[in-house]
Amino acid sequence: MLKRAMAILLAAMITTVAQADEASLKKAFETAYPKFTVKSVTKTPYAGLYEIVVGGQIVYTDEKLNFLLVEGSLIDTKSKRNITQERIADLTRVNFSALPFDKAIKVVKGNGSRKLVVFSDPDCPYCKQLEQKELVNVTDVTIYTFLYPIPQLHPNAADKARAIWCAPDKTKAWLDWMVRGQLAKGAECDSPVDELMNLGDQLGIDSTPTLIFENGRRALGAYPAKEINELLNAAADRK
């Protein structure tokens, strides 16, 4: 009984010390770099390194902030896992079920059993590549496309997004434009484009295409169909 009580006390002391170290490191970082706000500080199991999450990025340092490792990946040599990539995927995880699917263009392929969300800009060349070369080779999936024009890059994309949404058949209008280069014209309506742009900002989406899977994990860019299928299967198994 005494041994168990001492073990609990020791564990509590270790936890308190760790929290104190992380809090002091957070304060030291924000003092040295006042323009940045630290979201979290976590001690890793690797050589005394601490993970600092700041500005949507992970940096590493020691307990005294003697150095910063920026824009690098921490790799576990035994498992070959990219620890940094896995952590970023966890930190940017999206609550999939809370997304406004009624404001998406819906495409059902095959039995539609797997689910995929894509934030896509009508004038984004990589979005067109995704539609033309990759998603055509993915089946048994329901794809929800959120129209997400990025005006800084494509000044006319918002107008095209609204034209596509207001077409009598949204799905056909989307595929006509992205695959065949034929844009729907003439129709006007209340569109959710502005709302979706705000949603994307809230989720920290700053590039297109951004793919989001059922388990909340996201992937950036025109991923190959093979990898999309693997990610869809993994997400369906773990949802």
Q: How far is CA 173 from the centre of its chain?
A: 27
What CATH number is given for 96-238 in this structure? Answer: 3.40.30.10
Taking 70 as the threshold, does the pLDDT of residue 226 lie above it? yes
Buried b (16+ CB within 10 A) or exposed e, 140-156: ebbbbbbbbbbeeebee
CB contact at 8 A, 216 and 158: no
pLDDT score recorded for residue 7? 41
Q: Domain extents for the chain? A: 2-91, 96-238
**Strands (E) located in 74-140:** 75-76, 81-82, 105-109, 114-120
Torsions phi, psi for 156 (to 5 deg):
-95, 0
The strand pairing partners of 116, in sequence order, are 143, 213
Percent of the chain with pLDDT over 70: 91
The residue among 82, 59, 83 whose CA lies nearest residue 70 is 59
Taking 50 as the threshold, does the pLDDT of residue 62 lie above it? yes
Between CA 13 and CA 8 the distance in angstroms is 9
Q: Which residue has the higher pLDDT, 6 or 208?
A: 208
Q: Which pLDDT tens digit goes with each residue over 153-193?
A: 999 999 999 999 999 999 999 999 999 999 988 778 999 99
Q: Which pLDDT tens digit goes with each residue over 94-151?
A: 999 999 999 999 999 999 999 999 999 999 999 999 999 999 999 999 999 999 999 9
Query: Which residues have a Cβ under 8 Å from the Cβ of 133 and sit 6 or more positions away?
Result: 222, 225
Q: Which pLDDT tens digit goes with each residue over 4-53?
A: 433 433 333 333 434 548 899 999 999 999 998 898 999 999 989 999 99
